[in-house]
Amino acid sequence: MAKLKVAKVNEIPEAGIKKVMVDGEPVALYKVEGKIYATTNICTHEMCELDQNHMMHGDVVECTCHGSQFNIKTGANVLPPAAEPLKIYKVNVEGDEVFVEA
């Protein structure tokens, strides 16, 4: 497991998404109530990019392509049509730097 520096805390919008690349994979970084989370940026339904197609509902991200919803802390799929969870990544914050384990 490599710990990769991916962003600064203030580059991630509160209740929004910053897309970064981690080990060649697109990853969505979220900030909810000041805490940082990371999931794959690709919806498990039909592969829409979440940073381009999303609405946040607290710690739930909705893919606005077809309405699937996922908990960003666990990756759990909480509303269809998606049936599979999002991959989540472990996040570490050191000072103002955000690291993701991949």
Of the candidate residues 7, 48, 61, 88, the single one contacting ligand FES (CB under 6 A): 48
Q: Give every strand in the sheet of 17-22, ordered side by side.
A: 17-22, 25-32, 35-40, 88-89
Of the candidate residues 39, 40, 68, 77, the single one contacting ligand FES (CB under 6 A): 68
DSSP 53: S
Q: Is 66 in the site for ligand FES (CB under 6 A)?
A: yes
Minimum Å gap between C-beta 81 and ligand FES is: 6
Q: Please give the residues from 28 up to 47 whose contact with ligand FES meets the rule CB under 6 A.
A: 43, 45-46
Angstrom CA distances, 7 to 1, 13, 45, 52, stand at: 18, 12, 27, 18
Number of residues that bind ligand FES (CB under 6 A): 11
